[in-house]
Amino acid sequence: MKENNYLVALENLLMHHGWQGPLREGLEKLLQATADEMGYRRISLAIFDPKTQSIEFSLYIGFTKTPKYSYTPGQGIIGQVVKEQSPIIVPLMKDDPNFLNLAFDRTPEELASMSFISVPIKRHSQENETEILGVLNAEMDLRDLPELETNCRFLQVLGMFIARQTSFLQEEVSRQKELPQFTTAEINTARQSMSESQLISTSKVMNMIMNQVMQVAPSRATVLIRGESGTGKELLAEAIHRMSPRKDKPFIKLNCASLPGELLESELFGYERGAFTGAVGQKKGRFELAHLGTLFLDEIGELSAEAQAKLLRAIQAGEIQRLGGEKTTRVNVRIVCATHQPLENRIEEGAFREDLYYRINVFPIFIPPLRERREDILPLAEHFLQTFSREYEKNIKRISTPAIDLLIQYHWPGNVRELRNCMERAVLMCSEEVIRTYHLPPTLQTAESTATDTELPFVETVARFEQELIIDALKKARGNMLQAARDLKVSYRIINYKVKKYRINPKRYT
């Protein structure tokens, strides 16, 4: 890419993508747009915490694995960039001994086919001092040195633009590490409450969210839960209620997107007889039903302007007025809201009240999409397997290794809700004790194709089934081919032939 072309690309990125939505979401969109515009395979942002002297990946685009390692200044390429505060270009990953490959565990093939650029993200103070905030990294197919140098300058300029936002992420990382330490009993109680709400997780980010829930649940502070559709916002709201002093009181839910504006107000605040056509009697609204308990308002961004004004008044004054009524009723309600929309954009469009936003955004919690917390996929899948096996009275004991691989690799645009539906379908289709790849939906079968196993030629279907059986046997035998042959009741010669035919590596299962 020529020098003037990368300037045009940068101008295009900042003009058309700029900064959209909440902090983390906006930065993620910008990084994704950068990867698309510049032809990068992957792009990531690692944040430097000066208190702990650790460099941790905060955002990463194009990776299928969750980072499992943090660096220190001077360690590896990223650590050197932080220590020296200057960019580093790696023309070929496998040839640079300082490219440690600890965080994302790239394959030998990837290391032999990609270049890498890491640039520092710096902030300049009024005293003209430079503070290192983190590093911006890009991975791309092999390019010659002049083009890599041009891309490096591009990333440096982009880094200057995102420096201010990165400083907020740096503060967030530090704040998470300063969260209060809870006792083992408190943590176990919290995990039990999360489990009762069917919030199953093992990932680091969900543990941080659990910590946030433990902080806010005992209070009566208003909580705003954000995240994509299907991430479990309602379950998290229920967990907050279960861990609060109001746990024995009502937990009332209302989806603001499921009702038209005129009905939404009557559902929220109730109505008196004759308030409108069809109002033949009195009816309590959700606020009154939730008195002394918790009111969960899902998709809060869909409220009409009039309903927003009344909701703001109810939160501020602690009282509501039924439609068609003249008297006010005092209510003691804890509000938990949720949305998948960027409310900041709705405010700019004039569709959401700014004063209401600040009232409900007292304690925000963001649930990352499932593709960003892949450690949770298998525990969730096994939980749903047990749930639906009981429901449909089936004796399904486990998920096969190839099926697990498909579940882990899939990008889950529908998040946990899609995973739940996927496992229900698999249980319904399964007539044996193991969930296999051909029990999973067509969209999961391969990354490139959506053909189901039943649509494949007979020979290929049999071959896939053979591979699954052999892999399962090797896994059980810890890579011992002779034991795997005994378990499958075939000769060692046949197993050896099939392993070579399907290019299975037994050592992987040792």
Total domains present in the chain: 3
Rounded Cα distance, 417 and 415, in Å = 6
Name residue 120's beta-bridge partners: 135
- Taking each helix axis from N to C end, the angle separating 401-409 and 415-429, rounded to the nearest 10 degrees, works out to 150
Give yes or no for residue 173 having a pLDDT over 60.
Answer: no
Q: Is residue 346 part of a domain?
A: yes
Judgement on whether residues 271 and 362 belong to the same structural domain of the protein = yes
If you write DSSP's letter for every residue of 232-243 in order, what string do you get?
Answer: -HHHHHHHHHHT
Judgement on whether residues 19 and 167 belong to the same structural domain of the protein = yes
**Could you report the per-residue pLDDT of 315-328, keeping only the tens digit for each?**
888 888 887 777 88
**Could you report the per-residue pLDDT of 183-201, keeping only the tens digit for each?**
555 555 655 655 555 677 7
Written as one letter, the residue type at 394 is K
Contact between 261 and 400 (Cβ < 8 Å): no
Rounded Cα distance, 15 and 27, in Å = 14
Q: Is residue 468 part of a domain?
A: yes
**Cα→Cα distances 380→242, 377, 383, 446, Å:** 21, 5, 5, 21
Residue 9 has what pLDDT?
Answer: 56
Judgement on whether residues 380 and 352 belong to the same structural domain of the protein = no
Written as one letter, the residue type at 176 is Q
**Cα→Cα distances 332→47, 296, 298, 315, 381, Å:** 42, 14, 19, 9, 39
Judgement on whether residues 230 and 152 belong to the same structural domain of the protein = no
Give yes or no for residue 307 having a pLDDT over 50.
Answer: yes
**Could you report the per-residue pLDDT of 34-66, keeping only the tens digit for each?**
888 889 999 999 988 887 788 988 888 888 777
Question: Element (H or E) spanning 137, and its range?
Answer: strand 130-141
Of 316, 344, 368, the position where a domain reaches its end is 368
Rounded Cα distance, 206 and 199, in Å = 10
Task: List the domain range (segments joined by +) for residue 401.
Answer: 371-509
**Cα→Cα distances 357→25, 193, 266, Å:** 18, 28, 22
List the one residue out of 378, 398, 400 whose CA is nearest residue 386. 398
The CATH number of the domain holding residue 165 is 3.30.450.40
Q: How confident is the model at residue 24 (pLDDT cuts 50, 70, 90)?
A: low
Judgement on whether residues 419 and 441 belong to the same structural domain of the protein = yes
Of 139, 155, 176, the position where a domain reaches its end is 176
CB atoms within 10 A of CB 385: 21
Q: How many residues does the chain have?
A: 510
Q: Is residue 119 part of a domain?
A: yes
Of 146, 176, 206, the position where a domain reaches its end is 176
Judgement on whether residues 206 and 296 belong to the same structural domain of the protein = yes
Q: Is residue 181 part of a domain?
A: no
**Could you report the per-residue pLDDT of 237-285, keeping only the tens digit for each?**
998 998 889 989 999 999 988 777 667 888 888 888 766 666 667 788 8
**Cα→Cα distances 202→48, 80, 104, 377, Å:** 24, 31, 18, 9
**Could you report the per-residue pLDDT of 385-405, keeping only the tens digit for each?**
999 999 999 999 899 888 888
Residue 454 has what pLDDT?
Answer: 41
Judgement on whether residues 31 and 111 belong to the same structural domain of the protein = yes
The CATH number of the domain holding residue 193 is 3.40.50.300
